[in-house]
Amino acid sequence: MKNITLESTDSTNKVAYKLALEGAEHGSSVMAKTQTAGRGRLGKFWVSVSGKGLYYSLILRPNLDLLDFSKVTLLAGLVVSDVLEDMYEIPIGLKWPNDLYVGGKKLGGILVESSPLNCEETDRFMVVGIGVNVNHCNLDFPEDIRSASTSLNIESTKHLGISLIIAAVQEKMLSRINEVEEKGFNEVLSDWKQKDVLIGKIVEMVNSKEEVVSGVALGIDNEGILQVRDTEGICHQILSGDVRLAQKRQLNQN
Ligand code: BTN
């Protein structure tokens, strides 16, 4: 099991993915002080201010059915939020599928990239990329995301080393993966539901026809799929994409 620390790289996910393709073991990881091309979900850029954030990617080769791979994404968000709550003593919410929120602002996010579809079953892997704003002050965030972003430094009076957080996240991720391999995801999904920041809120998302659909978030089901009921009472299952809180409009929901 290799744990690599880099001063600077394009993306720890990219490095970890390459290592995984070359056969790196379950539990191997890559962390960096900064990234020049940090990747976010949906092709977005992940701002990686040097030394201020946690930029870490963990390689997993879970002994799970392929259908359960998407639930590992939820597990990762849950584990990181649990670890940070314990260490920093602040409540952390989860926005589906795996954004970390404090007081309505984004603290971090997770980008999971899985092995190619044509991969042999025995070679399958996932790279769990974790980005957390740790030592940022408000001005460290680019202007366009400043009012919507926060950091542990802003939210808590505690100041802990980034490598300490990473060690705790790695240990808990590996132990919870062992647990789900044995017992399944029921406990993870019910723990996740306790931290769901969208439940009961009016949200907006873009459907497959590129239309904006609004509705009330009903929470995740037993497969980890988000359920949203629109104004006409139709229930939508959200498998991927971006879901945001509707800001100004009020819908008539029963
Ligand atoms: C998101 O909220 O859009 C997910 C952000 C994930 C960022 C992390 S930082 C470490 C790892 N390397 C990357 O390039 N991305 C992830």
Centroid of ligand 1 to alpha carbon of 41 (angstroms): 7
Interval 101-129: pLDDT, tens: 999 999 999 999 999 999 998 999 999 99
pLDDT at 252 over 60: no
- Report the nearest-CA residue for atom 9 of ligand 1: 131
User: Would strands 243-245 and 202-206 be described as parallel, antiparallel, or unpaired?
Assistant: antiparallel
More confident residue, 210 or 104: 104
pTM for this prediction: 0.93
Rounded distance, CA 115 to CA 125, Å? 5
Q: Which atom of ligand 1 is nearest to the CA of 37?
A: 14
Length of the chain: 254
> pLDDT tens digits for 143-159?
999 999 999 999 999 98
Q: Count CA atoms within 13 Å of residue 209 on its CB side.
A: 3
Beta carbon of 111 within 6 Å of any ligand 1 atom: yes
Ligand 1 centroid from CA 35, angstroms: 10
pLDDT tens-place string over residues 68-111: 999 999 999 999 999 999 999 999 999 999 899 999 999 999 99
Rounded to 10°, the helix 186-194/162-183 angle is 130
Taking the C-alpha atoms of residue 156 and residue 92, their distance in angstroms, rounded to an integer, is 12
**Torsion sign across C-alpha atoms 130, 136, 140, 142:** positive
Ligand 1 touching residue 108 (CB < 6 A): no
Q: Which of 18, 45, 59, 111 to mutate to test the pocket of ligand 1 (most atoms within 8 A of CB)?
A: 111
| Residue 39, ligand 1, Cβ within 6 A | yes
Cα of 251 from ligand 1 centre, angstroms: 33
Instruction: Give how far Cα 150 sits from Cα of 147, 154, 165, 227, Å.
Output: 8, 6, 17, 27
Res 1 pLDDT > 90: no
Q: Using a 6 Å cutoff on CB, does residue 41 contact ligand 1? A: yes
Answer yes or no: is pLDDT of 238 > 90: no
Q: Is the CB of 46 under 6 A from ligand 1?
A: yes
Question: How confident is residue 141, by pLDDT bands cut at 50, 70 and 90?
Answer: very high
List pLDDT tens digits, range 8-30: 999 999 999 999 999 999 999 99
Integer Cα distance of 68 and 63 in angstroms: 10
